[in-house]
Amino acid sequence: MRLLLVALLLSVGSVAVADEPAPIPLAVTPVAEPRPALKYPLLPPIADLQPGNAVLNYNRAMAPEWTRIVFSPEATAKTNKWEQMRSHELPMAEVREFMEKNAKWPLNELDIGARRRRCEWDLDDQLLQESFRLLMPDLQGLRSLSRVLKLRGNLELAQGQFDAALRTIQTGFTLGRHIAEAPTMIHALVGLAVIQQFTLLVEEWIATPNAPNLYWSLATLPQPMVTLHRAVSFEIRMVRDAMPSLERLQQPMPEAESNELLRVMLEKYSQYDSMDKETSIRKIAALIESIAAAYPNAKQELIGRGFTAEQLEKMPATQVVMLSGRLITNDAMDDMAKWAGIPFIDGAQPLLAAEKRLKAPKNNKEAGAGEKIYSLLTPRYSLTYFAQHRTSRRLTALRVVEALRMHAALNGGQWPKSLDEVKQVPLPLDPGLGKAFSYTQEEGRVTVTAPLWSGDPTGTRYAGLKYVLTIRP
């Protein structure tokens, strides 16, 4: 579970960014809105949904008889190369042959699963039993298969098959949302990574000659595409289950018992962090040695919370430090849980502040041992929160792009001089800043920009967007 999380953070988590977002060039055809306006829904229509559990089809898609063909070294070398190409650059005959011979049946199962009425992973009980030790080999497999699905969409766009490409986008978006319905932050990250792939396919759609306009299709998508409440709540429960009971920590206990509670908790952390036994023993010993130095501050923290000096004198130092750390952790996790469900413009800074209080002690020599202990167990919720935001921001910016295509279609192929001239449809605000996207016009091209966000007091920045649009000849 830990190794999968690390891999995901490399792709959808916090990333280093330049001073300006890299331009994304799109040569587009001016096209007015379709009739009916919602002719091209980006999620499967309710009328298309069939009884059944999508997970069964997703598991069938991962059948070894199929995946060993789709992911053979030869096939993987080809798909990795094709993924780097725009739709019009693909060797279409070769990709068509690959899809027909290698990928047709597993992708068909994804199509069917995305049109089931429910998606139940049934992981809750197993997660509570195995916690951070639970293996999830299916997740990386589904993510990899989603990349092949996106490649099918690129081929369909290259062939001008918009109806087929729409079905592929519907499958990809729904697969991502289904994955994120499972109860962990890793599932949310994988789901967002899949949705991110098909947001790029929407970009490719917009850049395809004479592509139908998707303004209303984008406007009616759920925002955010993935909600985090279930994953955050469940992970907090798992973290708390790995900690000593708060009720027990508030009752005096022998020193040997408090040391045993600490040892058991650190063993659980070692399972989560894939530590070898020797490293685990060394960490436990270091933390126990730091208890005496941390005791005065921990005692003052508890007195500030209403404990009396007499109560604390009956507790060994290890218990006092663990109790103080547990209460501080409870407060920080509560803050993270509440802000993770708030829109970015209001929730980002408070979430980062709460996370900083909890995660900073891990590498802070002056922090109390109690905070260090619990910070080891608590994941960084902001990584998923910001991945969620980047997806919403990109989809919202594409809605502005489609409004501009619509305007140009109704005005002789001319771009507006400013966004204020766009009157046909409402323009959404940048969800990162709560104000209009930046817009400039120069030499026949226009630029729609969502600037870098640098609202974190620690100086952390998160990537922006810059679409550079030209009219296709």
The letter for the amino acid at 76 is: T
Tens of pLDDT along the chain (473 residues)?
443 443 444 344 444 445 678 899 999 999 999 999 999 999 999 999 999 999 999 999 999 999 999 999 999 999 999 999 999 999 999 999 999 999 999 999 999 999 999 999 998 888 877 776 777 888 889 999 999 999 999 999 999 999 999 999 999 999 999 999 999 889 999 999 999 999 999 999 999 999 999 999 999 999 999 999 888 888 888 878 878 888 899 999 999 998 888 877 777 666 655 555 666 667 666 766 777 888 888 899 999 999 999 999 999 998 998 898 888 888 888 888 888 888 888 988 888 888 877 765 444 444 455 556 666 666 678 888 889 999 999 999 999 999 999 999 999 999 999 999 999 999 999 998 889 999 999 988 999 999 887 765 444 556 689 999 999 98
What confidence score (pLDDT) does residue 12 get?
Answer: 45
Report d(CA 262, CA 45) in Å as an integer.
52
What confidence score (pLDDT) does residue 11 get?
Answer: 44
What confidence score (pLDDT) does residue 66 get?
Answer: 93
What confidence score (pLDDT) does residue 275 get?
Answer: 53
The letter for the amino acid at 371 is: E
Report d(CA 180, CA 296) in Å as an integer.
43
Report d(CA 157, CA 166) in Å as an integer.
9
What confidence score (pLDDT) does residue 375 get?
Answer: 65
Question: Within 13 Å of residue 459, how many CA atoms lie on the same side as its CB?
Answer: 2
What confidence score (pLDDT) does residue 341 get?
Answer: 87
Rounded to the nearest 10 degrees, what angle do helices 255-272 and 369-377 cross at?
30
3-state secondary structure of 270: helix
Token output for 134: 């639970």
Report d(CA 447, CA 20) in Å as an integer.
13
Contacting residues for 235 by C-beta, under 8 A, at least 6 apart: 183, 184, 185, 379, 381
Helical residues (DSSP H) of 13-136, grouped into ranges: 54-61, 64-70, 73-83, 92-98, 104-113, 124-130
Are 88 and 158 within 8 A, CB to CB? yes
Cα 229 off chain centre by: 13
Mode of pairing for the β-strands spanning 50-53 and 116-118: parallel
* pTM of the full structure: 0.88
What confidence score (pLDDT) does residue 238 get?
Answer: 81
Contacting residues for 49 by C-beta, under 8 A, at least 6 apart: 115, 116, 117
3-state secondary structure of 413: coil
Report d(CA 464, CA 473) in Å as an integer.
29
Are 24 and 467 within 8 A, CB to CB? yes
What confidence score (pLDDT) does residue 129 get?
Answer: 79
Q: Output the CA torsion sign for 70, 73, 75, 80.
A: positive
| CA geometry: angle 386, 392, 397, nearest 5 deg | 125
**Domain spans of the chain?**
41-211, 234-379
The DSSP letter of residue 471 is: E
The DSSP letter of residue 363 is: G
Q: Name the helix (H) or strand (E) containing 259.
A: helix 255-272
Q: Name the helix (H) or strand (E) containing 229.
A: helix 229-241
| CA geometry: angle 367, 373, 376, nearest 5 deg | 105
What confidence score (pLDDT) does residue 332 get?
Answer: 83
The DSSP letter of residue 140 is: H
Are 435 and 429 within 8 A, CB to CB? yes
